[in-house]
Amino acid sequence: MSRIGQKPVPIVSGTKVSIADRVVDVEGPKGKLSYEHRPEVTVSVNDETNAVIVERSGNERSSREFHGLTRALIANMVEGVTKGYEKKLEIVGVGYIAAIQGDVLQLRVGYANELHRKIPKTLTVTCPDQTHIVVQGCDKQQVGQFAAEVRSLRKPEPYKGKGIRYEGEQVKIKPGKSATK
């Protein structure tokens, strides 16, 4: 049995969950999300306990896999529309800066040209200072994807540690050529 799938997802006050056919809609103060679940599982709302219950149809491997996955995705949706998600990035390097111009994130990270990344409408991206970027939104997958795309523009290099990294990320610094002598 899926241990994650068996746990009901509590519905926080101020959040509405509606299910039509196989589409789960979650609406809260931070926004609205929807997810179409697989036919191997059934999703229902229990009004007595005020929770979402995910059950699987059979005991096949795919049913067991989608049981826990669907429950986890719905739990992330409920948390996203109530609290929201946030990823913080920091830029390390001399002359490396970030700025926001309209709906475009501009980065100067050591290349000849400035890099531009369009900000999706569902996300809020801010630069509290020139070396930090904060990505916020209600969709966990979209927040993580945008942060990963920005980080991939200039990953931290292992010799000096320059580049874009997640806040608190430890970069292992290698000794250079001179360390062997």
Q: Which of these, 79, 82, 73, 6, lies nearest to 38 by C-alpha position? A: 73
Distances (CA, A) of 93 to 79, 132, 147: 35, 12, 18
Percent of the chain with pLDDT over 90: 83
User: Residues 24, 44: contact at Cβ < 8 Å?
Assistant: no
Please provide the CATH number assigned to the domain covering 85-166: 3.90.930.12
Q: What is the pLDDT of residue 72?
A: 95
Do 85-166 and 3-82 fall under one CATH topology?
yes
Q: What is the pLDDT of residue 3?
A: 83
Distances (CA, A) of 132 to 58, 74, 91, 112: 48, 31, 6, 21
Residue 179 has pLDDT above 80, yes or no: no
Name the amino acid, one letter, at 127.
Answer: C
Kindly report the average pLDDT of the chain as a whole number: 93
Q: What is the pLDDT of residue 95?
A: 92
Total-model pTM: 0.90
3-state secondary structure of 150: helix
Q: What is the pLDDT of residue 33?
A: 95
Domain spans of the chain, in order of start? 3-82, 85-166
Which pLDDT band holds residue 35 (cuts at 50, 70, 90)?
Answer: very high
Residue 2 has pLDDT above 90, yes or no: no
Spatial strand order of the sheet with 23-28 comes to 16-20, 23-28, 31-36
Q: What would the pLDDT profile of 110-140 be if each residue is shown by its tens digit?
A: 999 999 999 999 999 999 999 999 999 999 9
Q: What is the pLDDT of residue 54?
A: 93
User: CA-based diameter of the chain, in Å?
Assistant: 72
Residue 82 has pLDDT above 90, yes or no: yes
Task: Report the pLDDT averaged over residues 82-95.
Answer: 95
The fold for domain 3-82 equals: Outer Surface Protein A; domain 3 (3.90.930)
Q: What would the pLDDT profile of 40-76 be if each residue is shown by its tens digit?
A: 999 999 989 999 999 998 889 988 889 999 999 999 9
